[in-house]
Amino acid sequence: MLTALRGAFDKIGQSRFVRNAAVLMGGTLVAQAIPVLISPILTRLYTPAELGVFAVYFSLTMFLAVIATGRYDLAIILPANRQKGVALTLLAMGLSVATALVFTLLVAIAGPSMARGMGTPDLLPWLWLVGPATILMASYVSLTYWLNRHGRYGIMSRNRILQSGLLAGGQLGMGATITGAFGLIVGHFIAQTITTATIFVTFAKSVRGRAWRLWRLDIAAVARHYVRHPKFLLAAHVADKAAIESPTIAIAALYGPREAGFFMMAQRIITLPTSLVANAVGDVYRQNATETYRAQRSFRALFLKTLSALTALVILPIAALIIIAPDLFAFIFGDEWRVSGDYAQWLALAAGLQFIFSPLDKGALILGAVRYISIWEYFRVSLMAAVIGACAWWQLPVEQFVAGVAFANATVYLVDGFVQWRISGGSSRLAR
């Protein structure tokens, strides 16, 4: 099982793809490790409620950043013409400004009601920062796609590490001198500003000297040519982001920012292996599954071997986490954070299933089952909405909310695992 995975890595170990992926994964590893490493200090500088306010701010900004580009950012790498790639980048960033202006207008009209509705009245002053933060985050993503288009993987990797380091330094430094969520939110905003500006300078130097009239014409042309992105991709991606971010906002609205802080910390710790190891395995699996499908019109043997290997890797850590999570969180983060450990016990099984099945969900793309991907995203957000709605309607305790979120996530990944197994056989109605 593990030998099969090792062989798969060795087979393509000399390819340009793997070298580029290694550069990005190395940067991602360092960038994602930094927030986890500083978490024991953050939990002693900030209260759970303050971290909960930041969690709501961050989730809201992440959600708006997906809407903001109209998903034109996904098209930046597609056109062969370099100028059209630049035009798409400018289009995506321009749309983010429009989205931010609309949200800021909503804050001016109903800011206090919005803050109270999300269960975080202390967030009100920071709602004014969500619009600019959305522009920065959406522009950062768009500019990263532009770097990807030109193979600037070293810059991408270094920038991720820079952003994570600035974020850690800002939040720790401000937390040591200023009380409240100020340090968390402003530290994040400053880090996002500097890293986005750094990439934008590279972008601006590359495209300088072009006439604005030409850019304007190109922007209009690419907006029409790639109109399928906002028409068909935006809704599915909004559903995906809503399923990810809505539990944090909902738990704050229903139970208060303190519980949102506990929930955020539990999620941060248990999802780290998925974003690191599982994504790396997924890249290798997709490449090998594609080659196998071309040769044999099926890749089920590879699916089963990878499934077995991933299960073997995760089963013992998840079992240990379910048993010792409360004591572990209390020891590392402080006794007050034992509640996060309780939440982690509920979320661990779903995180394990995500670790196993998220690398295997590439089969749908190999067979071109785009429709299934959209249906799965809608199913996922609908199930999460049902959990949130049930907890709000019957005023269920927070423990049942967390259990419901875990059940919803576990269900969607089990369903996806079954469908991917069917797809791996090379011909399935579920893939059409």
Rg (CA), the chain: 22
For residues 352-374, average pLDDT: 81
Candidates 271, 186, 243, 259; CA nearest to 382 is: 243
* pLDDT for the residue numbered 1: 47
* pLDDT for the residue numbered 206: 83
- Say which residue, 86 or 272, is predicted with more confidence: 86
> Given pLDDT bands bounded at 50, 70 and 90, which one contains residue 275?
low
Please say if the pLDDT value at position 283 is more than 70: no
Q: What are the counts of helices (DSSP H) followed by strands (DSSP E) for the chain?
A: 18, 0
Residue that is written with structure tokens 């299960």 in the block: 311
Terminal C-alpha separation, the chain: 30
> Given pLDDT bands bounded at 50, 70 and 90, which one contains residue 164?
confident
Candidates 406, 430, 412, 410; CA nearest to 420 is: 430
Distance CA(429)–CA(417), nearest Å, equals 15
Please say if the pLDDT value at position 292 is more than 60: yes
* 5-41 pLDDT per residue, tens: 455 445 544 555 556 656 666 767 787 788 888 999 9
* pLDDT for the residue numbered 5: 47
Distance CA(281)–CA(268), nearest Å, equals 20
* pLDDT for the residue numbered 261: 96
* pLDDT for the residue numbered 12: 46
The torsion angles phi and psi of 178, rounded to 5 degrees, stand at -130, 135
Please say if the pLDDT value at position 139 is more than 90: yes
* pLDDT for the residue numbered 394: 96
> Given pLDDT bands bounded at 50, 70 and 90, which one contains residue 264?
very high
CB crowding 350-362: b at 16 or more within 10 Å, else e: bbbbbbbbbbbbb
> Given pLDDT bands bounded at 50, 70 and 90, which one contains residue 281?
confident
* pLDDT for the residue numbered 217: 67
Half-sphere exposure of residue 411: CA atoms within 13 angstroms, side-chain side: 16
Please say if the pLDDT value at position 431 is more than 60: no
CB crowding 76-98: b at 16 or more within 10 Å, else e: beebeeeebbbbbbbbbbbbbbe
Backbone CA torsion sign across 216, 218, 219, 223: positive
- Say which residue, 287 or 240, is predicted with more confidence: 240
